[in-house]
A and B are shown apart, each in its own frame.
Chain A
Amino acid sequence: MKAAAAGYVRANDLSHAISLLAASEGQARVLAGGQSLIASLNLRLAGETALIDINGVTELCGIALDGDVLRIGALTRHRELATSDLVARHAPAISQAAPLIAHAAIRNRGTIGGSLAYADPAAELPACMIALDATIVVQGPAGRRGVRATDFFIDLFTTDLGEDEMIVAIEVPACAPGERQVTMELARRSGDYALAGIVLVRRENGARVAFFGVGPTAVLARAAMAVIDREGSPDEAAAVLDQDIQPLDDVHAPASVRLHLARVLLRRALNATLAAEVGHV
């Protein structure tokens, strides 16, 4: 299929981008890596929409450590996440997740801002944000605000982002000494969206476990976290997962299999954090 005709504007800088977005009154979409948006345009799923290209907006680029917060610009490509030393040291869960996203050509273009805004329930990065308790920094004509990841992802492909807002950056609490992080997934083919995936973060003040691919959004597994925090065994934590996730049947697997795979992943991730010094598995 061919995309329906759409307008295109290249934003010079952040304020330009935001004013274009506001002026479009909901008729335009931000174009980042285009790895989800262009596909939906070509399928004529996104309707006739104008594009605001933010690829030239330098304020959205770069990864920096600011005290104990790792700040990742919205335009950071998946490949940069996978290769950045800062990310490897301060957010190992993300650097483990990035190579699992799609294939090299897609990682070269796809951005973290695009992935979070798109909010695919099977995507790795939203789950990383939830498990890491990251803050999504968004900006619109009314100014800038930070949204906790757990409040950001509302439903299938639906976020807290206002029509006139865009993601500018992500703020992740930097990995503390002794903290362990693991990202794991089970995908049929390398690069596929996973049948189930997990991000496990073990901090001094408690464990955080997020799953992806097992429901309409990435989910924080609170019941399992409680079991882990009271030093329950991996099997015990896995046993309560049905309270946390309620997958649906689809062509790739019945719901029961996804739940089962999530349990396997939880056991494996917990065993890995017990065995390993740091997050790399």
Chain B
Amino acid sequence: MTINFGNPDRPNSYIGRTVPRPNARRLVEGRGRYVDDIVLPRMLHVAFVRSPHGHARILAIDTGAASAVPGVRRVFTGADIAEFCSPWVAVLAHLKGLKSAPQHPLAMERATWTGEAVVAVVADTRAAAEDGAALVEVEYETLPVVTDIRTALDETTPLIHSELGDNLAFRRLHEHGEVDAVFAGAHTVVEASFKTARHTGVCVEPRSILADYNPAEGQMTVYHSTQAPHMMQSVIAQHLDMPEGRVRVICGDVGGSYGIKVHVYPDEMATVAISRAMGRPVKFIADRIESFATDIHARDHEIDARIAVDGDGRILGIDVDDWTGIGPYSVYPRTSAIEGNQVVNLCGGPYDFAAYRARTTVVLQNKAPTCQYRAVGHPIAVAITEGLVDFAAEALGLDPVEMRRRNLIRDDAYPCTSPANMRFEGLSHHASLTKLLELMDYDGLRAEQAALREKGIHRGIGIASFIELTNPSPFMYGIGGARISAQDGCTVRMDPDGSVVAMSGVTEQGQGTEAMLSQIVAEAVGVPVTRVKVVTGDTQTTPYGGGTWASRGAGIGGEAALQAGLALKDSILTVAGSMLQCAPDGLDIVDGQVCDKAGGEARMPLEELGRIVYFRGDTLPKDLPRELVQTRHFITSDYPFAFTNGVQASYLEVDTETGFVKLLKHWCVEDCGRVINPQLVDEQIRGGIVQGLGGALFEECHYDEDGQLLNANMADYLVPMAAEMPDMVIGHVETPTQESLLGAKGAGEAGTAGAPAAVMNAVNDALRPLGGRVTQMPFTPARILASIGVE
């Protein structure tokens, strides 16, 4: 089977076109259904008493006054919950040496970060539960707190979990080539230290869960705002000691997730355990303070790095020492070692060089746990790499574009393997850079920059090439022992009226998965896109799958949908051939009509075929297959990951008196293989860029030395907002993957991966005449002013 994607006039040509999102109107009109919209009979609400200390022993808990509050039904301590839910240890076999301590839904003997849930108060309303929570008395003995990353492993630093022996969760050293020799003999070596700030995802809809255990059926139904329903089904079953088949996870509308909602949260597990204990539906909706203090954080990295180049600016070696703090526990079940591991995998990714050493050191801290958040590790690795490349160019007096031209892997060099052992099937760094320079009029911009500098206006241009890991195989989690599916499936069904229902294991988080699936299925079967209804997010009715993470929805879920749709088309044509007395391969389906493949002449509408199959099957030959339901699964197997690539540019102005940065414009050219829906892809890139710009300029979780989170609110944790965002120009180069018919790779994280580095390079470009250089994100006025010696 092939599809002539190159011909936009082919029949049913939905793939490659912008089609409206089927759920947009519903959401815009406020007719969506989020977890908090669901109200069940006899439903209770839970509020949590959370640790006010970064690290403390729990000496006593008095729940008497809380239990007496009108409306309060029951109060649970850690020990109470532990009877219903077993602890977990978030390690994976392929991350050698990774260690973590057993974690319970509620803290047992010790609380290990401010915000950790200690007591659960269950009441008729959330307000009553909070009234009760305010009256729970917990007696704590405060313990020494570990916050600093670099000293976490010192002899004198107290241990967070003494049974682990030290505060080291994971360390990986990767070495390729003669690194020391290369650096010793290089023409020029440039060193730099970088910091990326701890930040978090800030979903519009906070974490939400409604667990409904029905003792009469032994059935647990969980309505959950999640990215991975099947993973949650498995985790809940395992830790509540239930058969997987007795746990159903339903995920309706989701108000953003960005990786925040792909993890197992203790308070959510407590909610499920409470429902099991009480035999009633129990709802937990995180409020904004809880979100800041207990959603996973990410990107808390400190890096020392260096690059060796020859006299022509050719990169000889890169050497990276990465340190990251992940909070007191590795997060279940994906673990908190992945981000550091990605930094090792991704540094230097776009470039052709020989000697590479990277080490990541992942330490425990008394802060909120960190884990995978959109573009896991990428913004860090890209900032390190692109920062070094720019600094090396500066040292040699080379233009940053020329520096990249000399070092980016050639577009005809694929397939190839990077010094980090990443295998690339086909990338387009040079073509993407060429397109970017055209879009931004690089030379014109440089001229403008120079002219304005004469007038004391400091503008900067920053370029950042990047690679993005998408379409993961079981090499990401499965081989380590996690029950996380890298495969995904789709069932496509034709109903009597000729309409089509597609059930998919990938999920809709607001990013448009259902639009993407509907247009693929419409093209594959040959029906108008409006006749396709997509169902996602229900472990009981959709094929088993992984859900949304690592930019896999379109590349993997989309291919499964395409194959299932094509299979359904075959079955339909088998029936049609019999009915029309002709060979099925002489027929086609266009716009909901069976027609002649050759002339295009319409022969029969699908509703007629449906009528016969479902109501007058007696008129068809007895042995004629008439399966108008088809399921296909897809998993990548040739490559562990489908890498994509791209390049971004930032143009900005630094007010050198105030240290304020004004973003003027941003460009991104990226190659996600086949573009299925141009508008959706561009929106993904734009949204991703905005998140990257947030990391570059605004976002930072401020903890003090006692482990107190100082800015757990929307006024003090600055998310990027529309008024400060620049215009963004998005372009594409398409290098489809050969692993699938669809040829799509992922596009969800590219924007976030490259934007911080582009801004960093642009700020430094602007500061260069003043001798300033910043490498610690976010680039606040204070940091920029300090770099140029102003106050």
Question: Which A residues are within 8 Å of any B CB, using their own CB?
Answer: 1-5, 43-44, 186, 188-193, 195, 251-254, 256-257, 259-261, 264
**Interface contacts beyond A189-B721, A259-B791: sample of 17 additional A-B pairs, CB < 8 Å, sorted by A:** A1-B287, A4-B127, A4-B131, A5-B127, A188-B698, A188-B781, A189-B720, A189-B723, A190-B721, A191-B723, A252-B780, A257-B659, A257-B782, A257-B791, A260-B785, A260-B790, A260-B791
Bound state CA distance, A251 and B660, in angstroms? Answer: 16
Return the chain A residue nearest B702 by Cβ.
A251
**Do the beta carbons of B660 and A186 come within 8 Å of each other?**
yes
Return the chain A residue nearest B719 by Cβ.
A189
**Do the beta carbons of A189 and B711 come within 8 Å of each other?**
no
Bound state CA distance, A259 and B790, in angstroms? Answer: 12
Bound state CA distance, A4 and B125, in angstroms? Answer: 12
**Do the beta carbons of A253 and B782 come within 8 Å of each other?**
yes
**Do the beta carbons of A256 and B791 come within 8 Å of each other?**
yes
Residues of B within 8 A of A44 (CB): 130, 134
Question: Which B residues are within 8 Å of any A CB, using their own CB?
Answer: 125-127, 130-131, 134, 287, 289, 657-660, 698, 700, 702, 710-711, 715-716, 718, 720-721, 723-724, 780-782, 785, 790-791
Contact of B716 (CB < 8 Å), options: A190, A252, A254:
A252
Residues of B within 8 A of A192 (CB): 715, 718
**Do the beta carbons of B131 and A188 come within 8 Å of each other?**
no
Q: 6 A-B pairs, CB-CB below 8 angstroms? A: A1-B287, A3-B127, A44-B134, A256-B791, A257-B785, A259-B791
Bound state CA distance, A191 and B710, in angstroms? Answer: 21
Return the chain B residue nearest A256 by Cβ.
B791
The listed residue with most B CB atoms (<10 A of its CB), out of A190, A193, A252, A254, is A252
Q: How far is the CB of A187 from chain B (nearest CB, A)?
A: 9
Residues of B within 8 A of A193 (CB): 715
Q: How far is the CB of B477 from chain A (nearest CB, A)?
A: 35
Residues of A within 8 A of B125 (CB): 2
The listed residue with most B CB atoms (<10 A of its CB), out of A5, A43, A257, A259, is A257
Bound state CA distance, A44 and B660, in angstroms? Answer: 35
Contact of A2 (CB < 8 Å), options: B126, B711, B791:
B126
Return the chain B residue nearest A1 by Cβ.
B287
Return the chain B residue nearest A2 by Cβ.
B127
Bound state CA distance, A189 and B724, in angstroms? Answer: 7
Interface of A is mostly: loop
Bound state CA distance, A189 and B660, in angstroms? Answer: 10
**Do the beta carbons of B780 and A189 come within 8 Å of each other?**
no
Q: How far is the CB of B713 from chain A (nearest CB, A)?
A: 8
Q: How far is the CB of B157 from chain A (nearest CB, A)?
A: 25
Residues of B within 8 A of A251 (CB): 700, 702, 710-711, 716
Q: How far is the CB of B129 from chain A (nearest CB, A)?
A: 9
Return the chain A residue nearest B700 by Cβ.
A251
Q: How far is the CB of B86 from chain A (nearest CB, A)?
A: 31
Contact of A190 (CB < 8 Å), options: B659, B723, B781:
B723
**Do the beta carbons of A254 and B782 come within 8 Å of each other?**
yes
Contact of B658 (CB < 8 Å), options: A3, A43, A190, A264:
A264
**Do the beta carbons of B658 and A253 come within 8 Å of each other?**
no
Return the chain A residue nearest B717 by Cβ.
A251
Bound state CA distance, A260 and B781, in angstroms? Answer: 11
Q: How far is the CB of A237 from chain B (nearest CB, A)?
A: 16
Return the chain A residue nearest B711 by Cβ.
A251
Q: Which 5 A-B pairs have the closest CB atoms?
A: A260-B791, A2-B127, A190-B723, A251-B702, A257-B782
Residues of B within 8 A of A43 (CB): 289
Q: How far is the CB of A271 from chain B (nearest CB, A)?
A: 12
Bound state CA distance, A1 and B134, in angstroms? Answer: 11
Bound state CA distance, A173 and B751, in angstroms? Answer: 53
**Do the beta carbons of A186 and B658 come within 8 Å of each other?**
yes
Residues of A within 8 A of B700 (CB): 251
Q: How far is the CB of B427 from chain A (nearest CB, A)?
A: 36
Q: How far is the CB of B290 from chain A (nearest CB, A)?
A: 9
**Do the beta carbons of A189 and B698 come within 8 Å of each other?**
yes
**Do the beta carbons of B657 and A188 come within 8 Å of each other?**
no
Return the chain A residue nearest B133 by Cβ.
A1
Bound state CA distance, A256 and B781, in angstroms? Answer: 12
**Do the beta carbons of A253 and B781 come within 8 Å of each other?**
yes
Bound state CA distance, A195 and B781, in angstroms? Answer: 10
Residues of B within 8 A of A260 (CB): 785, 790-791
Residues of B within 8 A of A4 (CB): 127, 131
**Do the beta carbons of A189 and B718 come within 8 Å of each other?**
yes
Residues of A within 8 A of B702 (CB): 251
Residues of A within 8 A of B716 (CB): 251-252
Residues of A within 8 A of B790 (CB): 260
Q: How far is the CB of B293 from chain A (nearest CB, A)?
A: 12
Residues of B within 8 A of A261 (CB): 658, 781
Residues of A within 8 A of B659 (CB): 257
Residues of A within 8 A of B791 (CB): 256-257, 259-260
Return the chain B residue nearest A257 by Cβ.
B782
Bound state CA distance, A253 and B778, in angstroms? Answer: 12
Bound state CA distance, A43 and B288, in angstroms? Answer: 10
Q: How far is the CB of B367 from chain A (nearest CB, A)?
A: 15
Residues of B within 8 A of A252 (CB): 716, 780
Return the chain A residue nearest B657 by Cβ.
A264
Given A189-B721, A189-B723, A251-B716, verify A1-B710 contact (CB < 8 Å). Answer: no
Q: How far is the CB of B702 from chain A (nearest CB, A)?
A: 4
Residues of B within 8 A of A256 (CB): 791
Bound state CA distance, A1 and B288, in angstroms? Answer: 8
Return the chain B residue nearest A190 by Cβ.
B723
Residues of A within 8 A of B657 (CB): 264
Return the chain A residue nearest B782 by Cβ.
A257
Q: How far is the CB of A233 from chain B (nearest CB, A)?
A: 16
Bound state CA distance, A179 and B721, in angstroms? Answer: 36
**Do the beta carbons of A188 and B718 come within 8 Å of each other?**
yes
Bound state CA distance, A11 and B659, in angstroms? Answer: 48
Return the chain B residue nearest A4 by Cβ.
B131
Q: How far is the CB of B44 from chain A (nearest CB, A)?
A: 15
Bound state CA distance, A252 and B711, in angstroms? Answer: 10
Q: How far is the CB of B789 from chain A (nearest CB, A)?
A: 12
Residues of B within 8 A of A264 (CB): 657-658
Residues of B within 8 A of A186 (CB): 658, 660, 781
Q: How far is the CB of B689 from chain A (nearest CB, A)?
A: 17
Bound state CA distance, A44 and B47, in angstroms? Answer: 14
Bound state CA distance, A253 and B657, in angstroms? Answer: 15
**Do the beta carbons of A190 and B715 come within 8 Å of each other?**
no
Q: How far is the CB of B726 from chain A (nearest CB, A)?
A: 14
Contact of A1 (CB < 8 Å), options: B289, B723, B724, B781:
B289
Q: How far is the CB of B130 from chain A (nearest CB, A)?
A: 6
Residues of A within 8 A of B698 (CB): 188-189
**Do the beta carbons of B785 and A190 come within 8 Å of each other?**
no
Bound state CA distance, A188 and B715, in angstroms? Answer: 11
Bound state CA distance, A253 and B658, in angstroms? Answer: 12
Bound state CA distance, A3 and B134, in angstroms? Answer: 12
Bound state CA distance, A193 and B657, in angstroms? Answer: 20
Q: How far is the CB of B292 from chain A (nearest CB, A)?
A: 13
Contact of B780 (CB < 8 Å), options: A3, A5, A191, A253:
A253
Residues of A within 8 A of B721 (CB): 189-191
Bound state CA distance, A47 and B289, in angstroms? Answer: 18
Bound state CA distance, A193 and B715, in angstroms? Answer: 8
**Do the beta carbons of B130 and A2 come within 8 Å of each other?**
yes
Q: How far is the CB of B75 from chain A (nearest CB, A)?
A: 18
Residues of B within 8 A of A257 (CB): 659, 781-782, 785, 791
Bound state CA distance, A188 and B782, in angstroms? Answer: 11
Q: How far is the CB of A238 from chain B (nearest CB, A)?
A: 11
Bound state CA distance, A253 and B134, in angstroms? Answer: 33
Bound state CA distance, A189 and B657, in angstroms? Answer: 17
Residues of A within 8 A of B134 (CB): 44
Return the chain B residue nearest A188 by Cβ.
B718
Bound state CA distance, A190 and B663, in angstroms? Answer: 13
Return the chain A residue nearest B704 by Cβ.
A251
Bound state CA distance, A254 and B715, in angstroms? Answer: 17
**Do the beta carbons of A1 and B130 come within 8 Å of each other?**
yes
Residues of B within 8 A of A190 (CB): 721, 723-724
Bound state CA distance, A28 and B657, in angstroms? Answer: 46
Bound state CA distance, A253 and B710, in angstroms? Answer: 13
